[in-house]
Amino acid sequence: MKNIKLLGLPLLLLVFITSCSSVSVLSDYDQKADFNGYKSYAFYKTGIDKAQISDLDKKRILRAIETEMSNRGFVKSKNPDLLVSIFTKEQERVDVYNNNYGWGGAWGWGYNPYSWGPGFGWGGGTSVSASTQGSLYIDLIDNKTSELVWQGKGVGTLSNTKNIAKKEERIKEFVSQILEQYPPNAVAMK
C-alpha cells in the first residue's frame, strides 16, 4: 500500500505539470482532398506576412514547421504541392479569485501590544492572476487549386518569459501538437 502512495504522488505531479502546459488542438480538412498526393511544400509569404507577431517569433514558428514537415517526409520546394500559411491570435486572460468566505469570526484570548483580552476578527482576500492565451493556426493550401485543404489550430497559455530557450520550446510544442493531427486519414485511424 505504501508503494502505491509513493507512486501516486509523482504521477499526480506529472498530470498537473502536463495539464498546465498542454495545448488544446483542433483540426479541420476538406474530405475530398487527396492527402496522399502531397509530398512537397513552401511557405505562403503573403499569409505569413499578415500574422501579427514579431518577426523573431515568426522565424521560430517557421523553423518548427520545417522540422515537423521534414519529420513527416515532406520536402521544401519551389514548385510545391502545398502552401503553408500561419495566423495568430492572442488574448489576455485575467482570473480573479475571491477568498472572502463571508462574515464570521472567532473569539479567543490573546495578546496585543495595547491590551490582553478577548478579540474578534474576520478574514478573506482577493488574488488576481493574468496570463496570455494564444492561438496558432496552421493552414495547408493546395497550390494547384489555391484552396484550403487542412487547418490546424492550437490554443494554450503563452509564457511571457524572458528566457528565449523556454519560449522556443513552447513554440515547438504548439507546432508539434498541431501537426500531429496531419494527415487527417492517419488521425482518423488512431
Q: Is residue 135 part of a domain?
A: yes
pTM recorded for the entire structure: 0.69
The sign of the dihedral angle between the CA atoms of 59, 60, 65, 70 is positive
When mean pLDDT is compared across 22-26, 150-154, 175-179, the lowest value belongs to 22-26
With a cut of 60, say whether residue 166 has pLDDT above it: yes
In a domain, 144, yes or no: yes
Q: What is the tens place of the pLDDT at every residue in 51-95?
A: 888 899 999 999 999 999 999 999 999 999 999 999 998 777 666
Pairing of the two strands 40-43 and 75-76: parallel
Domain-embedded: residue 51: yes
Which residues constitute the domain of residue 144?
Answer: 30-94+128-189
71 CB-near residues (< 8 Å, 6+ apart): none
What are the tens digits of pLDDT across the range 113-123? 555 555 555 55
Residue 102 lies in a domain: no
pLDDT of residue 96: 72
Does residue 111 lie within any of the structural domains? Answer: no
State how far the Cα of 29 lies from the Cα of 97, in Å rounded to an integer: 40
pLDDT of residue 17: 36
The total of structural domains in the chain comes to 1
On whether the CB atoms of residues 111 and 85 are closer than 8 A, the answer is no
The CATH number of the domain holding residue 153 is: 3.30.160.670
